[in-house]
């Protein structure tokens, strides 16, 4: 374990110490996707920031939960490097990724929320040597999110929708959010055409949403046996309108959703 650990150590009667809480790693690609999480940490416990590999890792307590919060930046390599540091330098017990995604399935609309059951790299193709999408030598194309963590995250999303969904929809001019569970696909492309999103739908008919980090996080977590869960709010439908829709959703809405979901998720973790 590194010196950057934020584990809580409790002194016992015999003078020993044991670890009670390893921190949760929370990350997003872009600052807008994290909402006010670091500010909330500053107000609650204060923040210790450690810079490692050109990323700032913020250590403290948020909504009662010891956390390490950071920004991965964009793409699968950035995400893999960041989650690897969370695991090795900060000894996180689990990882939660929050952010936005493009809707792929026709029933997944802007303002909806998708919690991954599984993740796949849609741009990974070592055919004919290996089946399309399969990670060579690992023999896997789909990486499962941790079932319990994903269920807790989805429950937090459902509570958000029940308590604030109608008000959010009215405020942001979106439809009342729906929560979906299923496959999220990741690749090093921003998908922004009707042709491209249809091609993804055709080849991966159960894909709900597309983004650029989640499957890399899920693969690294799988390889190190660390539970992970991914939640994405739909900013666009990965078609020709995606760039404008993405930018306005990111700047105006993403943080509000993230705050609302993570607060409920972390408070329930503390209570549970
Ligand atoms: N994240 C949000 N929208 C996306 C899109 N259309 N493609 C890839 N990543 C995204």
Active site residues: 33, 236
pLDDT on residue 40: 96
Q: Of all atoms in ligand 1, which is nearest to the CA of residue 100? A: 2
Residues with Cβ within 8 Å of residue 55, at least 6 apart in sequence: 70, 71, 72, 73, 82, 85
Gap from CA of 173 to ligand 1 centroid (Å): 20
Cβ atoms 149, 93 nearer than 8 A: no
Please name each of the domains of the chain with its CATH number: 8-271 (3.40.50.1580)
8 A C-beta contact, residue 187 and residue 123:
yes
State which of 32, 105, 235 you would mutate to test the pocket of ligand 1, scoring each by most atoms of that ligand within 8 A of its C-beta. Answer: 235
Tens of pLDDT, residue by residue, the chain (272 residues) = 444 544 444 333 444 444 457 999 999 999 999 999 999 999 999 999 999 999 999 999 999 999 999 999 999 999 999 999 999 999 999 999 999 999 999 999 999 999 999 999 999 999 999 999 999 999 999 999 999 999 999 999 999 999 988 888 888 888 889 999 999 999 999 999 999 999 999 999 999 999 999 999 999 999 999 999 999 999 999 999 999 999 999 998 899 999 999 999 999 987 77
Q: Whose CA is nearest to atom 1 of ligand 1?
A: 101
Q: Which atom of ligand 1 is nearest to the CA of 211?
A: 9
How many whole angstroms from 14 Cα to the centroid of ligand 1? 54
The vertex-196 CA angle with 195 and 198, nearest 5°, equals 65
What integer pLDDT is reported at residue 228 of this predicted model? 98
SS3 assignment, position 74: coil
């Amino acid at each position: 374990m590194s010196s950057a650990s934020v584990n809580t150590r409790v002194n016992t009667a015999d003078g020993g110490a044991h670890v009670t809480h390893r921190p949760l790693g929370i990350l997003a690609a872009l600052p807008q996707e994290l909402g006010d999480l670091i500010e909330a940490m500053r107000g609650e416990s204060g923040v210790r920031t450690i810079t490692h590999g050109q990323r700032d890792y913020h250590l403290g307590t948020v909504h009662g939960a010891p956390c390490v919060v950071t920004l991965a930046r964009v793409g699968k390599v950035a995400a893999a490097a960041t989650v690897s540091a969370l695991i090795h330098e900060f000894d996180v017990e689990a990882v939660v990724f929050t952010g936005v995604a493009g809707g792929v399935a026709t029933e997944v609309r802007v303002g909806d929320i998708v919690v991954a059951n599984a993740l796949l790299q849609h741009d990974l193709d070592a055919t004919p040597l290996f089946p399309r999408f399969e990670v060579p030598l690992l023999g896997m194309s789909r990486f499962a999110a941790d079932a319990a963590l994903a269920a807790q995250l989805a429950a937090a999303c459902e509570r958000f929708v029940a308590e604030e969904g109608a008000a959010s929809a009215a405020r942001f001019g979106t439809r009342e959010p729906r929560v979906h569970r299923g496959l999220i696909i990741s690749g090093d492309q921003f998908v922004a055409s009707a042709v491209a999103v249809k091609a993804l739908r055709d080849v991966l008919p159960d894909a709900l949403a597309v983004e650029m980090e989640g499957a890399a996080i899920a693969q690294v977590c799988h390889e190190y046996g660390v539970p992970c869960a991914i939640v994405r709010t739909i900013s666009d439908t990965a078609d020709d309108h995606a760039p404008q829709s993405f930018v306005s959703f990111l700047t105006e809405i993403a943080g509000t959703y993230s705050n609302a979901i993570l607060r409920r998720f972390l408070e329930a973790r503390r209570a549970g």
